[in-house]
Amino acid sequence: MRQSSADRVRALRSYASALVWAAVTAIVFIASPQDASASNEFIQHKGGAPAPDGAQAICNTYSWACARATPQNAPPSDQLQHVAAVNARINRSVRAIEDDQQYGVTEYWALPTRAGGDCEDFALLKKRELVSLGIDPRRLLIATVLDRQRNPHAVLVFRSDEGDLVLDNLTNQIKSWRDTRYMFLQMQDPDRPTHWVNIFASG
């Protein structure tokens, strides 16, 4: 994502909202620590949200990006291996380039071109490749975050049986969402991938 002044304003507003939600979440967790411990491995959402500006058209452009399910060809035991391999291969083979350089606009979600792509484009390509390998698309959810410097960023979340793992174009390491130290803002709804949900939780 391009770090324009408009992006920074949106990021700061999102971060302020995130702090409010984090305080509310902390109160809930203190009230029911057992439930909090059980749910920490998975990102919990806080209701519906409008899709990010750049994601408005991806369901029409790429049907697989918002598909509910496909026949699972990849055995569960092989899925994490596929996830790690696809993440590393795409990170290595796709050049990072901002939307304003490639398209002349601040935000445009699309598969990478020969010139490359930005963080959302990496996430889309990884999702397409993993769906083609037989992984249920409801386990592959694009999320918007603030990175460690609180800049807008996007990642792909793999919902494994043990918890939510993050595929990131900034690293080949597959991490639990809690270990990223990112502030998670929004994510595709796993039950209705055509819709988005609010998160406002810090990893």
Structural domain spans, the chain: 5-202
Q: Provide the token pair at 15.
A: 């971060």
Query: Are the beta carbons of 23 and 179 closer than 8 angstroms?
Result: no
pLDDT band at 73 (very low <50, low <70, confident <90, very high): confident
More confident residue, 132 or 33: 132
75 pLDDT above the threshold of 90: no
* Closest C-alpha among 14, 18, 56, 36 to residue 142: 56
Quick one: CATH architecture of 5-202?
Answer: Roll (3.10)
The phi and psi torsions of 185 (rounded to 5 degrees) equal: -105, -60
Q: What is the model's pTM? A: 0.81
pLDDT over 70 at 89, yes or no: yes
- Token pair for 113: 């071109």
Calpha distance 21→201 (Å, rounded): 7
Identify the weakest region by mean pLDDT among 22-36, 52-66, 98-112.
22-36
- Do 109 and 51 form a contact (C-beta atoms < 8 A)? no
C-alpha distances out from residue 194 to 4, 109, 178, 181, Å: 28, 15, 25, 27
- pLDDT exceeds cutoff 60 at 162: yes
- Which residues sit opposite 94 in a β-bridge? none
- CA dihedral of residues 59, 189, 130, 56 (deg, nearest 10): 20
Instruction: Enumerate the β-bridge partners of residue 187.
Output: 143, 197
Sign of CA dihedral 115, 120, 121, 126: positive
